[in-house]
Amino acid sequence: MMTSLLAAGPATRRRRVSTRVWRGLTYLSLILLMAPAAWLLINVLAKAWPHWQWSVLWTQLTSTGGGLRDQILGTLILMIGVFIIAGTIGVFAGIHLAEFARPRRFSGRVSGPLRTASDVLAGFPSIVLGYVGYVALVVGLGWKLSLLPALIILSIMVIPYIAKNTETSLRQVPTGYREGAEALGMSAGYRLRKVVLKSALPGIMTGLLLALAIACGETAPLIYTAGFSNTLPHSLTGSQFPYLTYMVFTGYNSPETQYHYLAYDAALILVVIVMVLLVLSRIVVTRTQRHSESSRSSGGGLRARMRARAQKNEPLLGITGAPPR
């Protein structure tokens, strides 16, 4: 490859121009990506702020306006439920995939029907799951539009994410930890519980937080499983359940002006919840890196790269991209 390149060296001017263009395009694409993101966040804040009232947080929704207390509580209840149901199942599924599933090939990336199913489920359209929930749970089991079918469908949706993240973080536990534990005579179960899971815990928590971020922002699978109501019901099944995203979806084109404001308020609250979850997960991630075996310098800065290379006994000088000649 190298020799052919040298032999067919293209004209200097063209190479210089192509590099300039390439650099320009990379920056341009970054700008094209960041600008809408910034616009979106500023837009939500700017539209919600002028008429923001803190009472939105503790008054009930009425047919003409009011606040979003029960919708916020509903979203939090959904998140807690998903955390318990999907968290338990997802983490155990991840443990199976990382620790017990027999590796089929020696390439490090294992494939099998179980992992395939998990991946396919991760890409499964949420509205289809919502439809299945409606047909099977809401109508089929007679639960009506309520909390329980919504929880089950949301949990099924995020289990693959949690499983995947758990698997990845378990695989990043240094081999030395396992070998050390085995050398100390720990039984396999004890080793898993006290050593492997413990050091993978921050990574697993990250996955759970990201799954919660997904869960709190979902609308499509909830509309036909949870329905919507102004107030919190007192039962798991039988009565419709309030949540924030529905307010955004329907509020903006409601004839009631107060509802337009509430739609933006709900959007702002959702963004804040997601940001809190992401910041938490970021804090947890920095703790994970202490444990992980592969020194992934995610930022790619010079100092991080040099530190990583020093650990691997690699040359410290990192010149990528010489000036064009």
Between 105 and 234, whose beta carbon lies closer to another protein?
105
Query: What H or E segment, with its residue span, contains residue 277?
Result: helix 257-291
Question: Does the protein bind another protein through residue 302 (CB under 8 A)?
Answer: yes
Question: Does the protein bind another protein through residue 296 (CB under 8 A)?
Answer: yes
Nearest CA to 23 among 35, 15, 33? 15
User: C-beta of 152: minimal distance to another protein in Å?
Assistant: 9
Q: Residue 140 has which token pair?
A: 């089929």
User: C-beta of 74: minimal distance to another protein in Å?
Assistant: 15
Query: Distances in Å between the alpha carbon of 107 and those of 14, 98, 323?
Result: 41, 14, 37
Binding track over 236-275 against another protein, x by CB under 8 A: ---------x--xx--x----------xx--x--xx--xx
User: C-beta of 174: minimal distance to another protein in Å?
Assistant: 10
Binders of another protein among residues 67 to 96 (CB under 8 A) are 88-93, 95-96
Selected from 71, 146, 171, 284, the binder of another protein by CB under 8 A is 171
User: C-beta of 255: minimal distance to another protein in Å?
Assistant: 16
- DSSP line for 18-73: HHHHHHHHHHHHHHHHHHHHHHHHHHHHHHHSTT--GGGGTS-B-SS-B--HHHHH
Between 133 and 234, whose beta carbon lies closer to another protein?
133
Total residue count of the chain as it appears in this document:
325
Binders of another protein among residues 149 to 168 (CB under 8 A) are 156, 159-160, 163
Binding track over 22-61 against another protein, x by CB under 8 A: xx-xxxxxx-xxx-xxxxxx-xx-----------------
Rounded Cα–Cα distance for residues 88 and 74 (Å): 21
Contacts of 141 (CB under 8 A, 6+ apart): 149
